[in-house]
Chains A and B, each alone.
Chain A
Amino acid sequence: RKEVEQDPGPFNVPEGATVAFNCTYSNSASQSFFWYRQDCRKEPKLLMSVYSSGNEDGRFTAQLNRASQYISLLIRDSKLSDSATYLCVVKGNYGQNFVFGPGTRLSVLP
């Protein structure tokens, strides 16, 4: 089993739709969680960190369920500019490295 797994996608949604991505991780000792966004032929960029209590940044909401080892990202009122690959990232403590999921590609259609 891979350390971090994500919905395979791709997701093709119309503008204005709400879309949710799921991510599961296998290492129960993981401490930090993130969503990164990667545009085509560009580098990954931090979208948001994921906190235990859940957090929201505008149209984006991230949730963490430690018991189920599950992270989610919800995008409301999707825009054409949201089209990208979304990478789930998990990190342990004490120098453990970041583990990136395979990514879920989103295409928002006009």
Chain B
Amino acid sequence: DAGVIQSPRHEVTEMGQEVTLRCKLISGHNSLFWYRQTMMRGLELLIYFNNNVPIDDSGMPEDRFSAKMPNASFSTLKIQPSEPRDSAVYFCASSYYTDTQYFGPGTRLTVL
């Protein structure tokens, strides 16, 4: 079975542009988590969904960030407009209800 799939793996964009990151959950999982990782702040939870419903978005930095889960297996994280301080690795993870989270390979975002 395929693991968590993220795309793109690398994204380089200019400040002010819109960025969309995508994630496909492991089949059968019902919880999805978006994380951001930087050297300075480590791994930070941005938002998580359970059964397509956002449960906790308190980690979303500001209104420029939005996340959706249009169906049970897919999610997008959008940054509009992007800023250089958004540069980070963005991970998506999925789980079945509780316990073990399985991470995708991440998207390395660079905003110039």
Q: Is the CB of A102 within 8 A of B42?
A: yes
Shortest beta-carbon contacts, A-B, top 3: A43-B103, A100-B43, A102-B42
Pairwise interchain contact B98-A32, C-beta atoms closer than 8 A: yes
Interface residues on A, range: 10 to 19
CB-defined interface of B3-41 with A at 8 Å, one 1/0 digit per residue?
A: 000000000000000000000000000000100000000
Q: List 11 A-B contacts (CB under 8 A).
A: A34-B100, A46-B100, A46-B102, A49-B100, A87-B43, A95-B55, A97-B33, A97-B56, A102-B42, A103-B42, A103-B43
- Interface mask (B52-77 → A, CB under 8 Å = 1, otherwise 0): 00011000000000000000000000
**Interface status of A1 (Cβ within 8 A of chain B):** no
**A43 pairs with B101, CB closer than 8 A:** no
A52 to B103, CA, bound (A): 25
* Interface magnitude class on chain B: 10 to 19
List B residues at the A interface (Cβ < 8 Å).
Answer: 33, 42-43, 45, 48, 50, 55-56, 91, 98-106
- Nearest to B44 among chain A residues (CB) is A100
Name A's B-contacting residues (CB within 8 A). Answer: 32, 34, 42-46, 49, 87, 91, 93, 95, 97-103
**Residue in chain A with minimal CB distance to B105:** A43
Residues of A within 8 A of B102 (CB): 46
Do residues A98 and B101 form an inter-chain contact, with CB atoms below 8 A? yes
Expressed in whole angstroms, the Cα–Cα distance for A93 and B98 within the complex equals: 8
A99 to B45, CA, bound (A): 8
A100 to chain B, nearest CB (A): 4
* Contact B100 A97, beta carbon cutoff 8 Å: no
Q: How far is the CA of A45 from the CA of B105 in the complex (A)?
A: 10
